[in-house]
Amino acid sequence: MSEHKQNQSDAQDEPRLYPEDQAKVDAFLQRGVNAVERKPFRPFRLLLILVVIVVGLSFFSQLLARWAGVY
């Protein structure tokens, strides 16, 4: 039983890709979008921007409706 567990852990430790394939993956991860250092994502800033846009469009639609004589 312990030999079976040992074989499973050895199989998990082995790399799943051939070395040349792993080198391609590593090279891909080091270029382009993946290599650029980015600022941290700020969800509250995005939420604030969305709220400002929605409120602005709401006021614009109210003004447009009053100008067109709907109200």
Domain locations in the chain as residue ranges? 2-68
Report the pLDDT averaged over residues 27-31: 84
| Residue 3 CA: distances (Å) to CA of 10, 13, 46, 47, 66 | 11, 15, 53, 54, 80
Would the pTM of this model clear 0.75, i.e. be above it?
no
Q: Average model confidence (pLDDT) for the chain? A: 83
Span 40-48, mean pLDDT?
96
Tokens of 67: 């100008």
pLDDT average, residue stretch 20-37: 82
State the average pLDDT over residues 8-35.
78
